Amino acid sequence: MSVNTASGISVPQPTGCSQRPILHERGQHEVFCGLTGIMWLHRKIQDAFFLIVGSRTCAHLMQSAAGVMIFAEPRFGTAIMEERDLAGIGDMHDELDAVVEKLLKRRPEIRLLFLVGSCPSEVIKLDLGRAAQRLSQRHNPSVRILNYSGSGIETTFTQGEDNCLASIVPTLPPEPKDAPANLMVVGALSDVVEDQFNRLFEEMGIGPVRFLPARLADDMPPVGENTVFLLAQPFLTETKRALEERGAKHIPAIFPLGAEGTTQWLKAAADVFNVSETTFESVVEKPRERAERAISQHREKLNGKSAFFFPDSQLEIPLARFLYEELGMDTSEVGTPYLNRNILAPDLNRLPDSMRVSEGQDVDRQLDRCRDDNPDIVVCGLGLANPLEVEGLTTKWSIELVFTPIQGYEQAGDLAELFARPLNRRTRLAV
């Protein structure tokens, strides 16, 4: 099945959405909250500021997780809610207005300000949408003010990015009338990866290609009926929905991890833009070979090793696909906090039936399954890594896979190495 854009190009729809059994769990879970996304988003959008409306706990999380020096001027901060705010004694809206006023005076380079909700602001039902609207009117046109939730009550850590991008979508400019079909790549990528993809699309004759988020607030891409988009990250459910509401069409594809993942992801766009097989092959041939060579150096060590994924980043299913197809590894369980079958069907369909897929978490039961499986490597959040290492299991922090540029051909070797390194370390320690 396919749908056509207004300019007449045809976009395939996901088919054969995997009907494999999924183990659903709803119990205690161990994940970071959505505030964590600010750590990479504040670097990506260079003239944005993220103002968390939260508690001292939120401020401490950001301070320690981002490792920011106290004298540096990062583009995020916390408006700390005191006890009187939580008790409803002070007028939070007045106080927030004053904080924003002071901030914008001191940091005139800010063009986009996000008010980021937290657990405390959600608990007292502080209406940040209303605050953003009011402040936007006051500071228009020099600063746009948006809001989203990073609260741990509602989000896991990568959902912070999803909520942030979804809040931008309604403000994207409409594409000009009669615009030709155009490609948008959605999801924060490191600049170097973005430049590589841009070059490859350009060589195929697909362009202009635009990225969401853009590096500057005023360069956010236009959107409309002729926009087709590839997701670069699998956790963008709300952003995808918001783009579709603006008329854009999603191109289903496996995610661009490894040589095969990147090739299939690029190919999905190339097919929509009718790039010939010869052109496609000539563009991808060399970088794909480089990626395959880089992966093969680690494949020897990793082939036949087993892995276990605890749910954390929502990158788990594409990563399990990469480990299985490109490194010959066997994953006994791949856990994910949420499973969007529509977005993940292409990756999910390539996993073997023997691989257990779980959604949500009941951490004690999952720990028992992990111990029974006794995998060679466990991919998990920071909170579980140390206790598991003490028990003799080798771990990889899933957050590292979000912070490190892992997408695309030139990063394929680094991605494989991220799994090889903990195993090498364990072998060295055992000697």
Give whichever of 55 and 407 is closer to ligand SF4, judged by the CB atom.
55
Stretch that binds ligand SF4, among 53-61, 294-302, 315-323, 362-370 (CB under 6 A): 53-61
Amino acid in the structure at residue 204:
M
Nearer to ligand SF4 by Cβ, of 33 and 132: the residue is 33
Given candidates 11, 18, 31, 55, which one binds ligand SF4 under the rule CB under 6 A? 55
Applying CB under 6 A, among 14, 152, 258, 360 the residue interacting with ligand SF4 is: 152
- Residue 34 burial (C-beta neighbours within 10 Å; 0-12, 13-18, 19+): buried
The answer to the question of residue 183 lying near ligand SF4 (CB under 6 A) is: no
Interface region with ligand SF4, contact rule CB under 6 A, candidates 150-158, 234-242, 276-284, 350-358: 150-158
90-127 per-residue burial string, b: 16 or more CB within 10 A, e: under 16: eebeebbeebbeebbeeeeebbbbbbbbbbbbbeeebe
Decide whether 5 or 159 has the Cβ nearer to ligand SF4: 159
Q: To the nearest whole angstrom, how small is the minimum distance from the Cβ of residue 29 to ligand SF4?
A: 12
Residue position matching structure tokens 């959505």: 34
**Smallest distance from ligand SF4 to CB 384, Å:** 17
Judged by CB under 6 A, the residue of 46, 57, 198, 349 near ligand SF4 is 57
DSSP string, 363-380: HHHHHHHHHHH--SEEEE
Residue nearest to ligand SF4 (CB): 152
63 belongs to the binding site for ligand SF4 (CB under 6 A)? no
Residue 119 contacts ligand SF4 per CB under 6 A? yes
DSSP H stretches of helix in 140-245: 159-168, 191-204, 237-245
337 lies in the binding site for ligand SF4 (CB under 6 A): no
In this structure, what DSSP letter does residue 173 have? Answer: P
How far apart CA 239 and CA 230 sit, in angstroms, is: 12
Q: Pick the binder of ligand SF4 from 37, 54, 213, 422 (CB under 6 A).
A: 54
Stretch that binds ligand SF4, among 146-154, 157-165, 193-201, 238-246 (CB under 6 A): 146-154
Pairing type for strands 182-186 and 227-231 reads: parallel
Nearer to ligand SF4, 55 or 394 (CB): 55
Q: Is 154 exposed, middle or buried (0-12, 13-18, 19+ CB in 10 A)?
A: middle
The answer to whether 377 and 396 have CB atoms below 8 angstroms apart is yes
For position 151 contacting ligand SF4 by CB under 6 A, the verdict is yes
Of 13-21, 149-157, 322-330, 419-427, the segment contacting ligand SF4 by CB under 6 A is 149-157
In whole angstroms, the minimum distance from the beta carbon of 62 to ligand SF4 comes to: 8
Task: Rank residues 156 and 314 by Cβ distance to ligand SF4 and give the closer one.
Answer: 156
Tell me how far the alpha carbon of residue 216 is from its chain's centroid: 19
Cα→Cα distances 152→147, 156, 365, Å: 16, 7, 22
Task: Give the total of residues touching ligand SF4 (CB under 6 A).
Answer: 12
The smaller minimum CB distance to ligand SF4, of residues 58 and 268, is found at 58
Which of 118, 158, 182, 366 touches ligand SF4 by CB under 6 A?
118
Q: Nearer Cβ to ligand SF4, position 35 or 367? A: 35
* Residue 128 three-state SS: helix
Of 117 and 187, the one with the shorter C-beta distance to ligand SF4 is 117
Q: Which residues, at least 6 apart from 70, have a Cβ–Cβ distance to it below 8 Å?
A: none
Coil, helix or strand at residue 243: helix
Specify which residues 361 forms β-bridges with: 26
30: closest CA among 423, 360, 388? Answer: 360
Site for ligand SF4 in 1-40 (CB under 6 A): 33, 35
**What are 209's strand-pairing partners?**
183
End-to-end CA, the chain: 56
Q: Give the nearer residue to ligand SF4 in terms of CB position, either 116 or 334.
A: 116
The site string for ligand SF4 over 77-116 (x = CB under 6 A, - otherwise) reads ----------------------------------------
CA nearest to 152, candidates 302, 40, 32: 32
Site membership for ligand SF4, residue 58 (CB under 6 A): yes
Smallest gap from Cβ 152 to ligand SF4, in A, equals 3
Binding site for ligand SF4 (CB under 6 A): 33, 35, 54-55, 57-58, 61, 118-119, 150-152
